[in-house]
Amino acid sequence: MIRCLIPSDIKETLETIAKKNALTYNQVQELYAIRFKFIREKIEASDRENISFPTVSWINFGTFFVSNRKKEKLIAKNKSKEDETI
C-alpha cells in the first residue's frame, strides 16, 4: 500500500467516491496515491550522465520537466568533474 499525507478535504472526497462506487477507502486512496508514485519513479529513472530526463504532464496539475538551462548547467558540471579526474 502506498502511504501519503492526504488533506482532510481530499480525504472526504475519497470517502465519498468509495461509498458511491462500493469500494473500500483504502482502494480509492491507492488509486489517488499511485500517480504520485508514477511521477517519483519517472524522476528516479532519469539519467544524469547522459542528460536524459523524462517529462511528465499531469492534466489540471502541472508538467514536471528539466529546463534546457538546467541541462546546460549539468553538462558543464559533468565536464568539470571529467577535467578534474584527468
pLDDT in tens, 27-49: 999 998 898 888 888 888 888 88
pTM of the entire predicted model:
0.58
Q: What is the separation, in whole angstroms, between the first and last Cα of the chain?
A: 47
Query: Nearest to residue 10, comparing CAs of 18, 20, 21, 1?
Result: 18
Beta strands in 1-86 (DSSP E): 56-58, 62-64
Q: Using 50, 70 and 90 to split pLDDT, how confident is the model at 7?
A: confident
Q: Check pLDDT > 90 for residue 86.
A: no
Strand partners, 56: 64
